[in-house]
Amino acid sequence: MILFGSFSFPFYPIFFSSSFFFLFCLSMRNLIVFGGSSHPELTAAICRRLGICPGKTKLSKFSNNETSVEMHESVRERDVYIVQSGCGHVNDNLIELLVMINACKIASAKRITVVVPYFPYSRQADVPFKPSGAPLTKLPPATPKYPPEPSHQQEDIAKQVLRRLAQTSLQDQKPEEPKNRYREWVARSGRLVADLLTCAGADHIITMDLHDAQFQGFFDCPVDNLISKPLMIKYIRLHIPNYQDAVIVSPDAGGAKRATSVADRLCMDFALIHKERRQIVTQKTDLMLVGDVRGKVCILIDDIADTSYTITKAAKMLRENGATKVIALVSHALLSANAIENIDQSALDELIVSNSIPLDPHINSPKIKVFDVAPIFTEAIRRTHFGESLSMLFDTKHDLL
């Protein structure tokens, strides 16, 4: 599927007359795809498939760290697509995206569509966990420390909070005030990011495998939430020998729906790993396997692999329960903090991820493989531009990609 090359004609019935070809090229001239600095390879792949060159821009930072965006092609009355993923330096990439949208909007673009393979701030914040795995139920408030720590290490949020609490508890000598019944909560920024994109001027959003499908409701503009399931199914069919004997496993209860839809499509067995909280007092969590994996190859399916605790713990449990091989198929591989070491040392045999997020070129792990999602975005862009239906991208019966 990756060898499909530049665009081809099978979707349009009539077309080798030169006049149509001329019109076709004219309306392709109205299409322009810009790439942000988060994932230039994906932008290049999309443009190669569309048969156009990426729009010329100069993206950099001023000496005082402000983002500088220069668009070097005219966008007046053109259909603009901006490809930017929410990875790496998330805030920098997000502001760069907003400034690019704004630049196109005030330069009279006809319509601006934002293509965000991995949508940032789309997850509800998790309650921080202690290193042992139990959640921190009480998060005592910490006063900010001066000067602030240099926060360039990619530390887990739980460790950061614990470190700051440890420092302030050494500082505070006065007795604790009576507990004031206030329950700390972590701000959820999903709605804010949706509002920011809309106020910058985006008319349409194309994204993939949103963590919560309800996120589409945060926007007032149309949102296309593409799915990578057809590509995952294709990968399983082509690259996993004897896949009919394998078991699809969901590493948590929330992903059960996603995993069962893949299992049903391929007529495979299904299992589920469940985080059960037995005792409310000690808050110990136990992982329980629902289903039988003895002597089978297990395929874990999840949407996001961030710190990779979920899939590595799941892999360990599957091995303990008799699985012969554990493969994980993940849509978005953030792989932050020490995820790569975790994966290398874990019971996982293979981790297959999509290229919605660029993989660090320094990663040489033999366990990590990539499947290409550029075809999905290319089709979505082309169909959106020509005003055609996107339904076939959601239908796994079509093997077009």
Partner 1 sequence: MADNSIKIFTGNSHPELAKLVANRIGIDLAKVVVAKYSNQETSVTIGESVRDEDVFIIQSGCGEINDNLMELLIMINACKTASARRITAVIPCFPYARQDKKDKSRAPITAKLTANMLTVAGADHVITMDLHASQIQGFFNIPVDNLYCEPPMIKYICTKIDNWKNAIIVSPDAGGAKRATSIADRLNLDFALIHKERKKANEVSRMVLVGDVRDKIAILVDDMADTCGTLGLAAKTLVENGAEKVYAIVAHGILSGKAIKVINESVIEKLVVTNTIPHEDKMAICPKLDIIDISPTLAEAIRRTHNGESVSYLFSHVPE
- Burial (0-12, 13-18, 19+ Cβ within 10 Å), 198: middle
Closest CB 305 distance from partner 1, rounded Å: 11
- Indicate the residue among 127 and 290 with the shorter CB distance to partner 1: 127
Q: How far apart are CA 246 and CA 231, in angstroms?
A: 18
β-pair type (204-208, 285-290): unpaired
Angle at 168 between CA 165 and CA 170, to 5 degrees: 110
- Indicate the residue among 153 and 244 with the shorter CB distance to partner 1: 153
- Indicate the residue among 119 and 243 with the shorter CB distance to partner 1: 119
- Indicate the residue among 187 and 281 with the shorter CB distance to partner 1: 187
Q: Which residues contact 342 (CB under 8 A, 6 or more apart)?
A: 307, 308, 309, 312
Which residues contribute to the site for partner 1 (CB under 8 A)?
A: 62-67, 69-72, 74-75, 87-92, 94-96, 98-100, 102-104, 106-107, 120-121, 125, 139, 141-144, 146-148, 151, 154-157, 160-161, 164, 180, 182, 184-189, 191-192, 195-196, 198-200, 306-307, 334, 336-337
- Indicate the residue among 216 and 336 with the shorter CB distance to partner 1: 336
User: For 135, which DSSP code?
Assistant: B
Angle at 357 between CA 344 and CA 221, to 5 degrees: 145
Closest CB 93 distance from partner 1, rounded Å: 9
Closest CB 287 distance from partner 1, rounded Å: 22
Closest CB 281 distance from partner 1, rounded Å: 25
Closest CB 213 distance from partner 1, rounded Å: 20
Closest CB 340 distance from partner 1, rounded Å: 12
- Indicate the residue among 89 and 257 with the shorter CB distance to partner 1: 89
